[in-house]
Amino acid sequence: MKIVLASRNSGKLKEFNYLFKNTNIELIPISKFSNEDIAETGNSYEENAFIKAKYAAEIAGLPSLADDSGLEVEALDGAPGIFSARYAGEKGNDSLNNQKLLKEISLKKNRSAKFVSILSFLDPELKNPFFSYGELFGKIIDSPKGKGGFGYDPIFQVKNSNLTLAEISKTERMRISHRTMSTLKMITLLKESKIY
């Protein structure tokens, strides 16, 4: 079964390909059909994931899968949340996003945070999309550590660990990550619905 993946983020593409490797689902990146950026105009992860899945399904004529994910910091009332990728502005990048977050939280005692991943699957032949959810809990540290991962991984220390997401092995990351949780739930949903 072919599914178009509504993401151009190379880190996410690698993770999804790894997570779907033992299924008979072939993920096709949206870049095969369009180079346009999809405007994330929703007010929630669910809305943004659905917007991306709908766009991908329409231009590819295939079932689609989209992820919207973010980092939520307790002391910042859940920010950056759905704005995680563009926290430092539209021209921002991982490094600038991390710098801004560390500045915002520098005087806060509470460092608790969690990564959230919401997946939306849309089959043009079905009326209702499927959604699945995943979370990973931890805290924000004072300065980046580790060379792996992407996004906020170097400043996110995993709960019950002394390591950041950028320091743990790929195997461990793919065992515990928020995206792993939402993807495994989605694969189960697709199986139970006899979609694949």
Instruction: Give the C-alpha separation, 167 to 157, whole Å.
Output: 9
- Per residue in 169-195, pLDDT (tens digit) is 989 999 999 999 999 999 999 999 887
Instruction: Give the C-alpha separation, 159 to 32, whole Å.
Output: 38
* 133 DSSP β-pair partners: 118
Whether the CB-CB separation of 60 and 181 falls below 8 Å is answered with: no
Q: Does residue 142 carry a catalytic annotation? A: no
Pairing of strands 2-5, 64-73: parallel
Helix and strand totals (H; E) in the chain = 5, 6
- Per residue in 27-67, pLDDT (tens digit) is 999 999 988 888 888 999 999 999 999 999 999 999 999 99
How far the first Cα of the chain sits from its last, in Å, is 7
Per-residue model confidence (pLDDT) at position 80: 97
Whether the CB-CB separation of 117 and 69 falls below 8 Å is answered with: yes
CA 53 remoteness from chain centre: 14
pTM (two decimals): 0.91
Instruction: Give the C-alpha separation, 39 to 6, whole Å.
Output: 12
Catalytic residue among 67, 68, 123, 153: 68
The full set of domain ranges for the chain reads 2-192
The mean pLDDT value for 78-87 works out to 95
Q: pLDDT exceeding 70 applies to what percent of the chain?
A: 99
Per-residue model confidence (pLDDT) at position 195: 76
Its CATH architecture, for the domain 2-192, is Alpha-Beta Complex (3.90)
- Structure-block tokens of residue 17: 């390909």
- Per residue in 128-182, pLDDT (tens digit) is 899 999 999 999 999 999 998 889 999 999 999 999 999 999 899 999 999 999 9
